[in-house]
Chain A
Amino acid sequence: MLEVEKLNLSRIQETCAKQKTRWWDVFAEYAVHKTYSFKNNVFYGVRESEIKGYGIRMNIDGKTGFSFCNDIAMLDSVMEYARETARYGEIEEYDLPAKQPTPHVECYDGNIFNKDTQYYLQTLQNVVDTIRSAYSDCMVDAGLGCVDGYIHLINSRGFDSGYHYSRQGSTISALRILPDGSRVQVYESITWNSDVNIHELSERIIQKLNFSKQTVKMPFGNYYVIFTPKAFGQIMGVVLQGLTGRSIERGISRYIGKFGEKVFGRQFTVYDNPLIDFAPGSYPFDDEGIPAKSKTIIENGYVKTYIAHLQSAHLLHVQPTGNASRGYAILPQESFSNIVVEPGTTSFKDMIAQMGTGIIIDQFIGFGQSNTLMGDFSANLDLAWLVVQGEVKGRLTNSMVSGDVTTMLNDKIVLSSEREWGGDAYLPYVLCRINYSTT
């Protein structure tokens, strides 16, 4: 952290301590981003940013107010806004955590900042060349960047702690227009708090372009389907919706009354684990100061628990789980850290053979637009392939799938032995059945 930022935080701490409050906390963020990008196969430009911001919560007479700023010169105004909004804020009777031991987890690898411009340009050029050596008509966009960030939390009960995090991320997309005029765009991305293997992404892209050389059709019906880890990440979003204290407290979780019951297939076990070294969702303490810990959310199909921040934990009479997430301008919300799904024992290759005839789904369009509160989904297939007798025949277009996650992830699902990281989720390939429709 820059010395000037330490001085700013000390000044905010002193100012807050003078306020007549029941409690207060300050969340400070400082981050430097740098991203190199290629567009349409050639170098496009470099984007750099230096962002800092401060968010201040004040609980006065039991009600919480909140304000934020980027510029420390606005501090007095921000104090006044926080006090004013506290007159209209929600009654929050919980206490903030005092300083307490936090677990160790590696979130920072300074080595990623030792690479020079030439390294980035050459790495991205190699990716473009690799993909275009397989498909010379391909238009490739590629980005590679890193973040050097720092988060600090101070509160009225003596919590005063911060941590550095590093992050390297890459997104690559490859676009082909096939002779019939149809458009195939494959994208892959990876984020890690240490070095990322960008070449793995180009290999995945080439394999998916290989699958997409031809466009094929299949009729309406209920079929076997394999979700790739990337596609299953979106399904997991629906699975996890309703497993937050907020949704339970509001009465809109479909899991109310089902905790301890078997809802999914016995193969299905899900963890929330913020303590995986260098994983993008890792942290030593959450954004309200609660120490991070790993939790089993679903075990062998049984729904075990949900995540809760300070407020919903207080309202539901449970312990906070260390899953509060906030930005300097955003109040704490409940958020999963790294989602890890237990693997199965079948390889992806054997899974295709086992499926016989069916669909592999990799990318959706419009996935989040359906009414997912009930676990239902309905989405267009952006990238999916028809498999006949264990062999990929080509890409399915103008088609969609629909279903609900509870029925779909039943005892008959098969999980692959391989898993892939996508964002902050570590997921296997998943074989199940689904309704398919097409024009």
Chain B
Amino acid sequence: MLDPMDLQKKLKSIKTEYAEIRISESFSTTIHLSKRMIETCKVGTSTQGSVRVYNKGCWGFFAFTSLDMVDYAMQQALQLSNIQKKENAPTLSSLQMNVIKEKTNVLIPPNTVSLEEKMNVLTQYNDILKDSNLIENTNVLYRDSLTQYVLCNTDGSIVEYDRSFCGLSLSAIAKDGMVIQPYGESDANYAGFEIVKDKHPVAEEVVRTATELVQAPQIKSGVYNVIADPKLAGVFIHEAFGHLSEADFVYENPRMKEIMVIGKRFGPDILNVVDDGTLPYAGYIPCDDEGIKPEKTYLIKNGILHSRLHSRETAVKMGEEVTGNARAITASASPIVRMTNTYIENGNSTVEELFEKLWNGVYVVGALGGQTNLEMFTFTPAYAYEVKKGKKTKKLRECMLTGNVFVTLANIEAIANDCTLFGGLGGCGKQGQAPLPVSSGGPHILINNVLIGGKGAGSRKTKSK
């Protein structure tokens, strides 16, 4: 790895408003087992880097995969940043200098565990997943990476971060007649091999759920009152409001600024939404990819829009404070405004009270994914239960929830007090950068009038007690 002090000296030779150099060297292992075969067993190294320069409203960016290209990259990025100067472009003035040297705390460094041992543990999980006649295929996906990351910028910041990321995904595809049903669980974090050990109960739960779901009825499409579990509540708030809080969607659009004006009501008083990159989950960062430390940012406080997520550029252009949310998927990608750990804070109800309030409706559990266009969103639970007279009844498969962001936030009726955050081997995608490690979560939440898509055109609508 190149000496950060040398990189800092190189930056001082550039005459510009703002510039940064980011470099990473990684060593990674990926193992993928399926029911019948070892799909992947690979170990490799990658070298990535970039230089980004800002001059009078224009960004020049050059990415490379060879450390001997740093000087060339600096020249190119500087030249590209001078292609077109804008009159009255805001200046990216210097911010606080941060000197950070950090290493992930790990109990079992992944590089101290042999491939043989990793294979042994993963094979045990795969054997559990295969242990049903209804399971047609399995997927045990393991990934670890050890990365030496360096960032230097013209604030004078030097960030050296030796990070260890480790994760596991266990899934099974059940088949019964013509019905094929996948189900899976995943966990990942900045940690060591310890977080993938002793996951036998998770594998047992995966195979049990997949085999139950393949025989479960499909949900009928319609408008329902729903309770979302903490995992789905997290995907909901990530998709429904987190992305809308990313200032690069707002900062130069006058109409969006009117819609997203600070102080506007977006939900009930009980709703508090936070993004916090300092928490020790998958979205943790010691600083963002512009050298700015993260902080606890209230996006919604007591139902009111409180603040938003910023990069250096969006903060200057909107006259607001930076929040440390400029993140890049790799050192060769440009930082853009991203979430970190995003969650709904605890409310004042118990889970039991939520079910009592729902009475008849749907309880949606787990998350397969979600997407938004900043006005409408979708999120897909792993499965659902029909709720009758306040009790969970039969399990249902194949449902997708959708709605208008603003209407759905306003339709949150109650929030429980069991907030939990979740990460995973998947992550967030934006502008071609995926999967970025993030976590999301919340307590159980009760939302009224949610459109659920499923087989058959229904028109049912449930009412709370």
Q: Contacts A183-B373, A183-B374, A366-B378 hold; do A436 and B65 have CB atoms under 8 A apart?
A: no
Q: Contacts A46-B60, A84-B43, A84-B115 hold; do A52 and B66 have CB atoms under 8 A apart?
A: yes
Beta-carbon contact of A69 and B44 below 8 Å: yes
The answer, yes or no, to whether B403 is at the interface (CB within 8 Å) is: yes
Chain B residues whose C-beta falls within 8 Å of the C-beta of A402 in the assembled complex: 221, 400, 453-455
Beta-carbon contact of A378 and B457 below 8 Å: no
The answer, yes or no, to whether B41 is at the interface (CB within 8 Å) is: yes
Chain B residues whose C-beta falls within 8 Å of the C-beta of A68 in the assembled complex: 42, 44-46
Q: How far is the CB of A270 from chain B (nearest CB, A)?
A: 22
Chain B residues whose C-beta falls within 8 Å of the C-beta of A89 in the assembled complex: 38, 41
The answer, yes or no, to whether A250 is at the interface (CB within 8 Å) is: yes
Beta-carbon contact of A380 and B42 below 8 Å: no
Beta-carbon contact of B115 and A66 below 8 Å: no
Beta-carbon contact of A48 and B378 below 8 Å: no
Beta-carbon contact of B453 and A400 below 8 Å: yes
Beta-carbon contact of B454 and A220 below 8 Å: no
The residue in chain B whose Cβ has the minimal distance to the Cβ of A382 is: B373
CA distance A419 to B22 in the complex (A): 44
The residue in chain B whose Cβ has the minimal distance to the Cβ of A33 is: B63
- What does the 1/0 interface line of A212-247 toward B look like (CB < 8 Å)? 000000011110000000000000000000000000
Q: Which of A15-23, A74-82, A194-202, A280-288 contacts the other chain?
A: A74-82
Q: Contacts A50-B63, A67-B44 hold; do A369 and B369 have CB atoms under 8 A apart?
A: yes
Chain A residues whose C-beta falls within 8 Å of the C-beta of B83 in the assembled complex: 43, 46, 117, 121
Q: How far is the CB of B127 from chain A (nearest CB, A)?
A: 16
The residue in chain B whose Cβ has the minimal distance to the Cβ of A68 is: B44
| Chain B CB within 10 A, most for which of A66, A87, A185, A439 | A439
CA distance A334 to B35 in the complex (A): 19
Chain B residues whose C-beta falls within 8 Å of the C-beta of A380 in the assembled complex: 376-378, 400, 402, 453
The answer, yes or no, to whether B48 is at the interface (CB within 8 Å) is: yes
Pick from A44, A371, A437: contact of B457, CB under 8 Å: A437
The answer, yes or no, to whether A408 is at the interface (CB within 8 Å) is: no
Chain A residues whose C-beta falls within 8 Å of the C-beta of B380 in the assembled complex: 366, 369-370
Beta-carbon contact of B69 and A437 below 8 Å: no
Chain B residues whose C-beta falls within 8 Å of the C-beta of A177 in the assembled complex: 253, 255-256, 259
The answer, yes or no, to whether B180 is at the interface (CB within 8 Å) is: yes
The answer, yes or no, to whether A101 is at the interface (CB within 8 Å) is: no
The answer, yes or no, to whether B100 is at the interface (CB within 8 Å) is: no
Chain B residues whose C-beta falls within 8 Å of the C-beta of A373 in the assembled complex: 173, 180, 182
Beta-carbon contact of A45 and B81 below 8 Å: yes
Beta-carbon contact of B451 and A437 below 8 Å: yes
Chain B residues whose C-beta falls within 8 Å of the C-beta of A55 in the assembled complex: 44
Grouping DSSP codes into helix (H, G, I), strand (E, B) and loop, the B interface class, with mixed when no group exceeds half, is strand
Q: How far is the CB of A283 from chain B (nearest CB, A)?
A: 22
The answer, yes or no, to whether B189 is at the interface (CB within 8 Å) is: no
Beta-carbon contact of A85 and B115 below 8 Å: yes
Q: Contacts A74-B45, A185-B373, A439-B449 hold; do A369 and B378 have CB atoms under 8 A apart?
A: yes
Chain A residues whose C-beta falls within 8 Å of the C-beta of B35 in the assembled complex: 250
Chain A residues whose C-beta falls within 8 Å of the C-beta of B369 in the assembled complex: 366, 368-369
CA distance A382 to B66 in the complex (A): 41
The answer, yes or no, to whether A1 is at the interface (CB within 8 Å) is: no
The answer, yes or no, to whether B225 is at the interface (CB within 8 Å) is: no
Pick from A71, A87, A251: contact of B66, CB under 8 Å: A71
CA distance A338 to B221 in the complex (A): 35
- What does the 1/0 interface line of B173-196 toward A look like (CB < 8 Å)? 101001111100000000000000
The answer, yes or no, to whether A388 is at the interface (CB within 8 Å) is: no
Beta-carbon contact of B378 and A379 below 8 Å: yes
Beta-carbon contact of B47 and A71 below 8 Å: yes
CA distance A85 to B44 in the complex (A): 10
Chain B residues whose C-beta falls within 8 Å of the C-beta of A331 in the assembled complex: 40, 42
CA distance A421 to B370 in the complex (A): 27
Chain B interface (Cβ within 8 Å of chain A)? 31, 34-48, 50, 57-67, 69, 76-77, 80-81, 83-84, 86, 115-116, 119, 136-137, 173, 175, 178-182, 221-223, 252-253, 255-256, 259, 332, 334, 368-380, 397-398, 400, 402-404, 407, 449, 451, 453-459
A-B contact pairs, 22 of them (CB 8 A): A45-B59, A48-B76, A65-B41, A65-B42, A66-B42, A68-B45, A68-B46, A70-B66, A88-B31, A89-B41, A137-B255, A181-B259, A185-B373, A220-B221, A249-B36, A252-B137, A366-B402, A369-B371, A369-B379, A379-B400, A400-B378, A435-B221
Q: Contacts A44-B59, A69-B46 known; list 14 others, CB within 8 Å.
A: A45-B60, A46-B61, A47-B334, A67-B44, A177-B253, A220-B459, A365-B376, A366-B369, A374-B180, A376-B455, A380-B453, A398-B376, A435-B457, A439-B403
- Top 5 nearest A-B pairs by Cβ distance? A45-B59, A366-B378, A177-B255, A49-B63, A40-B252
